[in-house]
Amino acid sequence: MTTQHTEHSPSPASPKGKTRKLLFSIFFVVIACSALSAGAYYFLVLSKHVTTDNAYVGAEIAQITPSTGGTIKEIHYNDTQSVKAGDVLVVIDDTDAKLALAKAQADMAKADAGLKRAKLDYVRRQLLGSSGAVSDEEVTTTENDMLAAQAIFDAAKVVADQAQVDLGRTIIKAPIDGVVSKRTVQLGQRVQAGSSLMFIVPMDKMHVDANFKEVQLKKVKIGQEVELSADLYGSDVIFHGKVSGISGGTGSAFAVIPAQNATGNWIKVVQRLPVRIDLLPEELAEHALQVGLSMDVDIHVAE
């Protein structure tokens, strides 16, 4: 019996295998292109910007406090109302201040009369002393009396000047232009010197405190251009500003109870450092911002 051997030639690849191979090739090409695109986008765009949404509007708020105590007689402005520098905000009853001024002026007039009498007496004793009619000791005594009267007059004048100042302080004026906020004083209320009456927010002099992670601050420098957007207006309104300063310490460093990293178990936490950004007054005039609003910040670190 003869055994026949049949040679089998390799069969060509099936259409299914070719399709799979093509799909894998396309997939790897897409991955490579995505990686190249991401790398190019990082080096051309992302590496030239640092961003954060941990930023809030701030301002140098003026706190209105009386320099003298008394009863509130008039209040001319309420919350949300605009004021100009020099506008009268609050008037304190000046009855006590006027009485104190009148008494101080009377005391000063009395001291002035005593000073004039002492000067005249001294001049007379000098003339008599030059002729030998009175002793040198008597002349010296009258001179000392004149100096004491001068001191009494000077002290009375200081009291009168202070009373005049206290009378003027019963009228409290706005130190800056702005909007009245957080008014706590009420008509007829008895206030003490230094107690808070209200705040004035300068709407044309806002800034932004942006809290960046410490790893983002390598390229941040004072004077760099910044673009910002407020949640109030959305991305349709873009504000512009400049980096004006970087805080001298992190928020945790100035906390009431600072972290004690030298004790117990330690876990590293990335810290944030406040960066101050000044805004353009003309943009604030067109789109007003309020203190405490959230902002998105983009610093152009390539500049």
pLDDT tens column, 234-272: 989 999 999 999 998 888 788 778 777 777 777 888 889
Range of the domain at 102: 62-200
Of 181, 200, 219, which residue constitutes the final position of a domain?
200
Average pLDDT of the chain?
Answer: 85
* Of 229, 219, 235, the residue nearest 275 (C-alpha): 219
| 44-49 contacts at long range (C-beta below 8 A, 24 or more positions apart) | 47/302, 48/300, 48/301, 48/302, 49/298, 49/299, 49/300, 49/301, 49/302
Distance between CA atoms of 297 and 229, rounded to whole angstroms? 7
Q: What is the pLDDT of residues 188-225, one digit of tens each?
A: 999 999 999 999 999 988 999 999 999 999 889 999 99
- The two structure tokens encoding residue 184: 């706590």
Whether 173 and 234 map to the same domain: the answer is: no
pTM reported for the whole predicted model: 0.72
258 found inside a domain: yes
Whether 250 and 190 map to the same domain: the answer is: no
Give the distance from CA 9 to its chain's centroid: 87
23 found inside a domain: no
CATH of the domain at 276: 2.40.30.170
CATH of the domain at 110: 2.40.50.100
Number of domains in the chain: 2
Whether 155 and 231 map to the same domain: the answer is: no
Q: What is the pLDDT of residues 88-145, one digit of tens each?
A: 999 999 999 999 999 999 999 999 998 888 888 877 776 666 666 666 667 677 878 8
91 found inside a domain: yes
Whether 259 and 249 map to the same domain: the answer is: yes
* Of 116, 160, 114, 122, the residue nearest 141 (C-alpha): 122
Range in 52-61, 158-167, 256-265 with the lowest mean pLDDT: 256-265
Whether 67 and 187 map to the same domain: the answer is: yes
136 found inside a domain: yes
Of 159, 175, 200, which residue constitutes the final position of a domain?
200
10 found inside a domain: no
pLDDT at 46 over 70: no
pLDDT in the model for residue 2: 46
pLDDT in the model for residue 42: 56
User: 303 with 225: CB under 8 angstroms?
Assistant: yes
pLDDT at 45 over 70: no
Whether 195 and 67 map to the same domain: the answer is: yes
